[in-house]
Structure 1
Amino acid sequence: MGLLTDYFRAPSAAVVVAVVERHGGHSPVGEFDGVSAKWLEVLVVLGRLVVAATGESYRVGEHEAVWPTTPEPTGVPEDGDPWAEGPWVYEVGVEAHDALASITDPGVVAARLVATAEELDGASAGEWEPVVAELAALARRARAAGERLYCWMCL
Structure 2
Amino acid sequence: MGVLTDYFRAADDGAVLAALDAAEGGPLVGGARPAFDGVEAKGVDPDVVLGQLIAVVRRVEWAVDLVGGTPVWPTTPEPGREGPADEDDPWATGPWVMRLDRAVRDTLAGLTDAELPAVSARWAAESEESDTSDGGDLHWLVEALAGLARRAREAGEDLYCWICL
Q: Structure 2-normalised TM-score?
A: 0.85
Aligned partner (choices 131, 138, 155) of residue 122 of structure 1: 131
Structure-2 change in CA distance of 1:77 and 1:122 (3 Å): farther
Offset from partner CA, 1:22-47 (integer Å, 9 cap, x none): 113x2112111111111111122111
**Which secondary structure state, in structure 2, belongs to the residue aligned with residue 96 of structure 1?**
helix
Aligned partner (choices 110, 123, 137) of residue 113 of structure 1: 123
Partner residue, 1:7: 7
The answer to whether residue 65 in structure 2 is matched with residue 65 in structure 1 is no
> Cα distance, 1:59 vs. partner?
6.3
Gaps of 5+ in 2: 29-33
Q: Decide which structure has the larger Cα Rg and report it.
A: 2
Partner residue, 1:27: 26
Moved >6 Å (runs of 4+): none
Gaps of 5+ in 1: none
Please tell me whether the aligned partners of residues 106 and 130 of structure 1 are also in contact (alpha carbons under 8 angstroms).
no
Q: Structure 1-normalised TM-score?
A: 0.90
Separation in 2, partners of 1:40, 1:17 = 22
Please tell me whether the aligned partners of residues 47 and 96 of structure 1 are also in contact (alpha carbons under 8 angstroms).
no
Structure-2 change in CA distance of 1:72 and 1:44 (3 Å): farther
1:29-108 matched pairs, under 5 angstroms: 29=28, 30-57=34-61, 60=65, 62-75=68-81, 77-104=85-112, 105-108=115-118
Identity %: 44
State the aligned residue count.
153
> Cα distance, 1:85 vs. partner?
1.1
